[in-house]
Structure 1
Amino acid sequence: MKTRKLIRPLTAALVGGLIAAAAAPAIGEVSFKGQTFKVNIGFHPGGGYDAYGRLLVRNISKYLPGNPTVLAVNFPGAGSLRLANYIYNRAPKNGLEVGIFASSVAFGPLYLVKQAKFKTEKFTWILNIDQSIGTCTAWHTSGVKSFEDLKKSEVIYGSSSPGSVASQHPRGFNALFGTKIKIINGYPGSTGVLLAMKRGEVQGGCGFALSSLKARRRQEWKSGKLRILIQTGKKKSPELAGVPHLYDMAKDDHERQVMDLIYGLHTFGRPVAAPPGMPKEVTKVLRTAFMAVMKDPVLLKQAKRQHLPINPWNGERLQKEIAAFVNYPESVIARARQAMNPGKINKVKLKQLAGGTISKKTKKRITVTDASGKSYVFKISGRRTKVKIAGKKAKTKALKVGMVCDYKYFAVKDLAPRISCK
C-alpha cells in the first residue's frame, strides 16, 4: 500500500511534467495563424502613445509567425496604470497581447503606489520604441514665459491622474526647485489638458514628449502658442536650442540620480510589455518581431511623415536598463519618493446642466437643448462617458433623441463624462 501511494504521486508528477513539456512551444513552432493579436494602448486616441501604437498595428503582422490579424485597443485609465495592471495580472501569457503604457506608471511600485499591482522588473519587456525627450509647457496667454516664472506665484497645471507624468513632473519641480505649481487632475489625457489650456482653465502642462509635439501638437508649438519652458529627460535636443535642460540644474550626483528616477524615465520613451512568465520561445518571437518592424521601410516612411522618431532598444536591453533603475541606492529612492508624494489631490470640477433634452445624436456627439431653448454640443465616448438611464448603467448607444438628462461635462464641445437620464 505504501508503495502504491508513493508511485501514484510520482506517476502523476511525471505525467504532469510530460504534459507541460508537450504544451511548451518548441523553437520554430510558435504560430499565431488565424488568431487576433492585440496591441493595447494605455491612453485615449489622439496622443503620442496612440500614434506609436497604431504605427505598430499597421505594420507588425508580417513579422509575427502566422501573420495574425492585429488590432489596436485603447485601454485608458489612471495615466495608463489600468493597462499596466491588466497586462501583468490578467492578459494571456500566449503572446497574443502586449501593452504600451507610460514608463512613469511602470515604476509605480518604486514610489509605493498602492494601485500598482505588479513588479516592474518582472514584466516581459519586448521593445522600447524611442528614448523620449520630455517637456513642460505653458500656454501663451498664461503670463508664464520661463521656468523661473513658475517660482514667482501659483501656476495651475492640468493632468489626467496623480500617477501620470503630467502630475509627477511638476510635483518634482515643487520639491526640488521651489516652484509653485498647483495640479488639477482628472482631464482626459494630454488632449484634454491642452483643451483646458485653450479655455484658460489651466495655464500649462507637463509630460509632452517632443515626439508628440512634433506629431500631434506641431501647430500650437511652432506658432508659439504652446511655450516650452524646460526640457526633461537625460538627453538634450538640438531642436530645443535655448530651452533650459533640467539636468543642468542638478547640484550634485545625488540630485542627478534623484532626477533620473523622476525625469530620466523618459529614456524608456515608448515601452512595449507583455505579461510575466511567458514561455521563452514566445518571448523570443515577440522581441525578434518587434525589433524587426523597427527597420521596416514602410513603417519608417510612415513614422517620418507623422514626425514620430524611431530610436529603439531591444527587449533584452530594456530589461537590463529597467533593472538598473529599480536598484538605485535607497537614499536616492527615498528622496524621489518624497518628491513624488502627491499630498492633497485636486480634481477638476465638472460643469453641470440639468434637464437638457437630446435634440440630435451621432456616434461621437450629442446636441442638447435646455429649458430656455439654448443648445449645447457635447462629445460622448463609449469608454469615457458613463451613462445611467432610470438609475441603471447603460451604454452611449442607448441615448436617444428626446431623452431628458442631467449632464456633467468639461466644456461645451468637449467630453461629457457623466450623463444621467430619466
Structure 2
Amino acid sequence: MKINAIWKAIAVASLVLAGATSTQAQSVEEFYSQNDITMVVGTAAGGSTDFFARTMAPYLSKYIPGNPDIIVQNKPGAGGLIAAAELQTTMPSDGSYIATLQRNNFTDPLLSDERVDFDAREVKHIGSVGKEIYVIFQYPDDPGTTTVEEALNHEMVLAATGSGSANYTYPLLVNALLGGKLKLVPGYSGNEEQALAIERGEADGRAGTYSMTQRGQLKQWQEDGKLHYVLQFALEDHPDLAGVPNVFDAIKDDETRRIFRFMLIPQGLGRIFSAPGDIPEDRLAALREAFVQAAEDPGFIAEMERSGAEAEYTTGEELQEIAEELMGTPPAIVDRIKTLISGS
C-alpha cells in the first residue's frame, strides 16, 4: 500500500511538473490566442480615462500576438488607487490582466499624508497616451502678455475647483515661488460652472489642460477670438503655443526648478497602461510593442484627433524611468512641495 501511494505521488508530481513546463514553454501567441485580457480601469465608466481605455482596447488587441479579446472592467475609487493597489498586489501576473493608472498615482505615495499602498516602481508599465500640459487663459480681453515677466505681473482672477486640483495648485505655485499676481477663487464644481463664472465676469479666466481648450465651449471661445493664453506649464514648449510664455522661463534656482519638474512630469504621463510586476518578460515585451503599434495606428490617431485629445505617447520603458525619478525625489523637495500645497 505504501509503495502504491509513493508511485501515485510521483505520478501526480510528474504531471504537475509537465504542466508547468508546458506553460513556461508556451509562446506569447499561444497564450494570448487562448486567454482574454481584462483591462481594469480605475475610474467610473464615461469619463476621460474610460474613453481612452475603451478606444485603445481594440487597437491593442489588433497588435498583440494571438489577438486576445480585451474586456474593460471599471473599478473606481480613491483617485484610481484601488485599481493601482490591486495591480501591484493581487491581480494575476500571467499577462491576462492589465490596468489603467492615474497620473497622480505616481506622486500620491510621496505627497499624501495617508498611507498609499502603491509604488509605481513595483509594476511594469506598458505605455501611456494623451500627453497633457496646463495653461492659464483669459477671457475675453487679450492681456497682451508676450514675455514671462509680463505674465507674472499680470493680475488675474482665476476660477478653480478646489485646493487639491491642478487648476488651483499650479497658479498657487506661480504666486508662491515666482511672485505671480494671481487671485484664486476656489469652490466651483467643474468645467461648466467655471465657464459660467468667467462669462458672468466673476473671474477673468482659469487654469486647465490645453486639450480642454480644443473642444466644446472653450474651442468656440478660441474660434471667436475670446480665449487668450497667458502662460503654459510644460517641460518643453507646446508646438501649438509658440509665443506663449513658459513658466520655466521664469525659474532661476535649482530647487524651484525641481519642484516644478516634479509637479509637471505627471502631465506627460497621459493615460497610463500597466501590468503586474511579475508578468513574464516575453509577454510584457509583446504588450509594449503592441502598445506602440496601436498608438501609431492611423485609425487610433484619427479617433484621438476627433475627440480633441493629444495622440502623443510615452513608451513603457520611459514610464519606468519616470517612476524611478519621481519616487527618488529628495525628501527635502517633497517636504517643500507638501508645505506649499498645504498652505493653499
Q: What's the CA shift for 1:135?
A: 1.9
Distance 2:170 2:76 in 1: 20
Q: 1:123-148 deviations in whole A, cap 9, x for unaligned?
A: 2111022443222345549x9x9854
Amino acid at match of 1:197: A
Aligned pairs for 1:147-162 within 5 A:
147-148=151-152, 152=155, 155-159=158-162, 162=164
Partner of 2:87: 87
Q: What's the CA shift for 1:336?
A: 2.6
Aligned pairs for 1:3-402 within 5 A:
24=24, 26-28=26-28, 29-31=30-32, 33=34, 35=36, 37-38=38-39, 40=41, 42=43, 45=46, 47=48, 49-73=49-73, 75-114=75-114, 116-138=116-138, 140=140, 147-148=151-152, 152=155, 155-159=158-162, 162=164, 164-178=165-179, 181-182=183-184, 184=186, 187=189, 192-199=190-197, 203=203, 204-208=205-209, 210-215=210-215, 217-339=218-340, 341-343=341-343
Distance 2:104 2:292 in 1: 23
Q: Does the 8 Å contact 1:132/1:270 carry over to 2?
A: no
* Segment drifting more, 93-102 vs 239-248: 93-102
* Segment drifting more, 55-64 vs 219-228: 219-228
Q: Does the 8 Å contact 2:100/2:274 carry over to 1?
A: yes
Distance 2:314 2:278 in 1: 21
Q: 1:262-319 deviations in whole A, cap 9, x for unaligned?
A: 1232232332222333232332222122122122232233334444333323212221
Distance 2:262 2:15 in 1: 47
Is the alpha carbon distance of 1:245 and 1:302 closer, same or farther for their aligned partners in structure 2, counting shifts above 3 Å?
same
Q: What's the CA shift for 1:31?
A: 1.2
Amino acid at match of 1:326: M
Q: Does the 8 Å contact 1:43/1:79 carry over to 2?
A: no
Q: 1:350-379 deviations in whole A, cap 9, x for unaligned?
A: xxxxxxxxxxxxxxxxxxxxxxxxxxxxxx
Distance 2:239 2:298 in 1: 25
Is the alpha carbon distance of 1:104 and 1:137 closer, same or farther for their aligned partners in structure 2, counting shifts above 3 Å?
farther
Superposed CA RMSD: 3.9
Q: 1:117-173 deviations in whole A, cap 9, x for unaligned?
A: 2012112111022443222345549x9x985477x57644115x82x4334424433
Amino acid at match of 2:132: S
Distance 1:114 1:295 in 2: 39
Q: The residue matched to 1:98 in structure 2 has which SS?
A: strand
Question: Structure 2-normalised TM-score?
Answer: 0.75
Q: 1:240-265 deviations in whole A, cap 9, x for unaligned?
A: 23322110110123321211001232
Q: Does the 8 Å contact 1:128/1:268 carry over to 2?
A: yes
* Segment drifting more, 228-237 vs 168-177: 168-177
Is the alpha carbon distance of 1:335 and 1:277 closer, same or farther for their aligned partners in structure 2, counting shifts above 3 Å?
same
Distance 1:17 1:332 in 2: 51
Q: The residue matched to 2:99 in structure 1 has which SS?
A: strand
Larger relative contact order (C-alpha < 8 A, sep ≥ 6)? 2
Q: Does the 8 Å contact 2:39/2:73 carry over to 1?
A: yes
Amino acid at match of 1:87: L
How many residue pairs were aligned? 322
Distance 1:18 1:183 in 2: 66
Distance 1:94 1:133 in 2: 35
Is the alpha carbon distance of 1:168 and 1:131 closer, same or farther for their aligned partners in structure 2, counting shifts above 3 Å?
same
Q: What's the CA shift for 1:59?
A: 2.0
Distance 1:290 1:42 in 2: 21
The structure where helix makes up a greater share of residues is 2
Is the alpha carbon distance of 1:223 and 1:185 closer, same or farther for their aligned partners in structure 2, counting shifts above 3 Å?
same
Gaps of 5+ in 2: 1-12
Distance 2:82 2:221 in 1: 30
Q: What's the CA shift for 1:22?
A: 5.7
Distance 1:181 1:158 in 2: 13
Distance 1:293 1:299 in 2: 7
Q: Does the 8 Å contact 2:100/2:271 carry over to 1?
A: yes
Distance 2:44 2:173 in 1: 23
Partner of 2:3: none
Identity of aligned pairs, percent?
A: 23
Distance 1:231 1:332 in 2: 23
Q: The residue matched to 2:230 in structure 1 has which SS?
A: strand
The structure where strand makes up a greater share of residues is 1
Q: The residue matched to 1:37 in structure 2 has which SS?
A: strand
Q: The residue matched to 2:279 in structure 1 has which SS?
A: coil
Question: Structure 1-normalised TM-score?
Answer: 0.63
Is the alpha carbon distance of 1:36 and 1:269 closer, same or farther for their aligned partners in structure 2, counting shifts above 3 Å?
closer
* Segment drifting more, 97-106 vs 280-289: 97-106
Q: What's the CA shift for 1:25?
A: 6.5
